[in-house]
Amino acid sequence: MFNPDIIKPENLVYKKTNVLTDAVMHYCPGCGHGTTHRLVAEVIEEMDIQDKAICIAPVGCSVLAYNYFNVDSLGAAHGRAPAMASAIQRMFPDRHTFTYQGDGDLAAIGTAETIHACNRGENIVIIFINNGIYGMTGGQMAPTTLIGMKTATSPYGRTVELNGYPLQITELLAELPGTYYVTRQSVHTAAAVRKTKKAIRQAFENQKNKKGTSLVEVVSNCNSGWKMTPVEANKWMVENMFAKYPIGDIKVDGEKVKK
């Protein structure tokens, strides 16, 4: 039964941010994209930078991110978002240009654009979703696919002989002097979600203070591509993905974090 007391402001415990549109997301149930979108949007709202935020959507599962973020947006060609963001942020230095990219986009076809934007220390925020697979095109092998992992283009499992090694691009980018903040997070538990939000906030704060490139990797699942239920996928992610892609800060305030 409807209780009008519930909608009193003092009873408000959660509200959808207006930096997300009301468009229905196309992401698979259980996927980390939706949660990560929400966190980015909430940070933009809390920092009151909606009018200054410019989103560069990639090619991949989040190709339609511009329909969900209620900020001015551009859809990039595959892998080219960091080049676009570089130009935009240089010509509009008071803006908050951010890219939102997957592992195929950022770590395969866009490797050159990613490395050089980071190496120039472009004052941009990169949100990097790593689920070890090409989701949108039907679950093919990505540069971050683990050894032994079965995908549509590694149907018997990825092998070093045929495909080389999973690319730890985030560690590689942390080596570049242009990156100021590099962290790896996840969104599979409430605690992890809170940490990721904090990391995203840090990235945008760095940008506000013109510190250079901030990159937040979110290790995520792909229950459709991995052929698992969302619960199984998260369990598999913790056991396997986190072993290769350990969660935590890699570089803070321009300094590598000592392990």
Partner 1 sequence: MAKELKLMKGNEAIAEAAIRSGCDGYFGYPITPQSEVMEHLMIEKPWETTGMVVLQAESETSSINMVYGGAGVGKKVMTSSSSPGISLMQEGLTYLAGAELPALIVNVVRGGPGLGTIQPSQADYFQAVKGGGHGDYQMYVLAPASVQEMYDFVFKAWEIAFKYRNPVMILSDGAIGQVMEKLYVGPHIPRWTEEELRKNAPWASCGKPTSRDHNIITSLDLDSAKQEEHNHKLQAKYREMEEKEVLFETINCEDAEYIFVAYGSSARIAQKAIQLGREKGIKVGLLRLITLFPFPKKQVAEFSKKVKGMLAVEMSAGQMVEDVRLAAEFRCPIEHFGRYGGIIHTPHEVLEALEEKIIKG
| Contact residues for partner 1, defined by CB under 8 A | 21, 50-54, 56-57, 63-64, 66-67, 69-77, 80, 83-88, 90-92, 95, 112-113, 116
Smallest separation, CB 218 to partner 1 (Å): 23
Neighbour-count burial of 8, counting CB atoms closer than 10 A to its CB (0-12 exposed, 13-18 middle, 19+ buried): exposed
Which tokens hold the place of 142? 């990505």
Q: How far apart are CA 133 and CA 19, in angstroms?
A: 28
Smallest separation, CB 13 to partner 1 (Å): 26
Which tokens hold the place of 201? 């906030």
Q: Name every residue whose Cβ is closer than 8 Å to that of residue 15 and which is 6 or more positions away in sequence.
A: none
Smallest separation, CB 2 to partner 1 (Å): 31
The residue (of 114 and 131) whose beta carbon lies closer to partner 1 is: 114
Q: How far apart are CA 188 and CA 184, in angstroms?
A: 13
The residue (of 46 and 253) whose beta carbon lies closer to partner 1 is: 46
Give the closest residue to 146 by CA, choosing from 128, 129, 162, 133: 133
Smallest separation, CB 226 to partner 1 (Å): 24
The residue (of 49 and 187) whose beta carbon lies closer to partner 1 is: 49
Q: How far apart are CA 51 and CA 113, in angstroms?
A: 26
Smallest separation, CB 92 to partner 1 (Å): 6
Smallest separation, CB 136 to partner 1 (Å): 11
The residue (of 16 and 90) whose beta carbon lies closer to partner 1 is: 90
The residue (of 63 and 228) whose beta carbon lies closer to partner 1 is: 63
Q: CA dist 3 to 36, 38, 99, Å? A: 32, 28, 42
The residue (of 117 and 233) whose beta carbon lies closer to partner 1 is: 117
Q: How far apart are CA 242 and CA 138, in angstroms?
A: 23
